[in-house]
Amino acid sequence: MKPNQWMSLLGLANRARKIISGEELVVKEIRSGRAKLVLLSADASANTAKKVTDKCNSFSIPYKLVENRNLLGQSIGKEARVVVAVLDAGFANKLKQVLD
């Protein structure tokens, strides 16, 4: 997996306003069914990781782990981000392919 490939894709999704970041907001999008894919940083706290993956599993939302919070934040031009939800099916499918 080329890290810059998923990062530039996420950057595009961000510019298209098709993502949301931050634990509480992401959990809200998962509950509402608007999240199509959740990206979780591998260095998220155990608590956050469990909360997000449990939510994803109970609402059947796919999630992928990415290397770390700095890359995740950097890809959307922000400070470190632990979790990001992709709200667009097209971007979500493409990201899943790239991250597989």
Q: Whole-structure pTM over 0.75, yes or no?
A: yes
Write the pLDDT tens digit of every residue in 42-98: 999 999 999 999 999 999 999 999 999 999 999 999 999 999 999 999 999 999 999
pLDDT in tens, 1-46: 455 899 999 999 999 999 999 999 999 999 999 999 999 999 999 9
pLDDT score for 3: 57
How many Cβ atoms from other residues are within 10 Å of residue 95's Cβ?
25
pLDDT score for 95: 96
* Total number of domains constituting the chain: 1
In whole angstroms, give the CA distance from residue 54 to residue 72.
20
Q: pLDDT at position 2, please?
A: 59
d(CA 75, CA 52): 20
CATH number, position 38: 3.30.1330.30
CA distance 60 to 54: 10
In which domain, by residue range, is 90 found? 3-99
* Max CA distance (Å), the chain: 31
